[in-house]
Amino acid sequence: MTTRPSAPLLLVIGVAGSGKTTVARLLSDRLGWPHRDADEFHSPDNRAKMAAGHALTDTDRAPWLDAIGSWMDYETAARRPAIVTCSALKKAYRDRLLGGRPGARLVYLHGTPELLRSRLSRRRGHFFPAWMLDSQLADLEEPDADEHPLVVEIDQRPEAIVDAVLSLLHQEHAAGDVPTGVAEYHAPQSEEQPMSASPTGENWELRYGGQRAVVVQLGAALRHYEVDGRPLLDGFEADSPITGGRGQLLVPWPNRIGDGHYRFDGAERQLPLTEPEKRNAIHGLVRWTAWRLLARSDEAVRVGTSLLPQPGYPFLLDVVAEYRLGSDGLEAVISATNIGDGPAPYGVGQHPYLTVGTDMVDSALLTVPAQYRLRTDDRGLPTGMEPVEGTAYDFRTEHPIGDLRLDTAFTGLDRDARGRALVRLAHPSRLRGVDLWLGEGTRYVQVYTGDTLAEPGRRRRGVAVEAMSCPADAFRSGTDLTVLQPGDRHVLRWGLRPWESS
Ranges of the chain whose pLDDT falls below 50:
1-5, 126-127, 172-195
Q: Give dist(CA 83, CA 93) in Å, integer.
A: 17
Paired sense of beta strands 421-426 and 432-438, if any: antiparallel
Do residues 192 and 209 make contact, with C-beta atoms less than 8 angstroms apart?
Answer: no
Closest to 34 in 3D by CA, of 85, 89, 90 = 85
Q: Give dist(CA 148, CA 485) in Å, integer.
A: 39
Q: Give dist(CA 295, CA 215) in Å, integer.
A: 13
Instruction: State the pLDDT at residue 47.
Output: 83
Q: What is the 3-state secondary structure (H, E, C) of 248-288?
A: EEECCCCCEEECCEEEECCEEEECCCCEHHHCEEECCCCCC
Taking the model in full, what pTM does it have?
0.84
Instruction: State the pLDDT at residue 311.
Output: 95
Instruction: State the pLDDT at residue 489.
Output: 97
Q: 158-175 burial string, b = 16+ CB within 10 Å, else e?
A: eebbbbbbbbbbbbbeee
The secondary structure of residue 457, as a DSSP letter, is: G
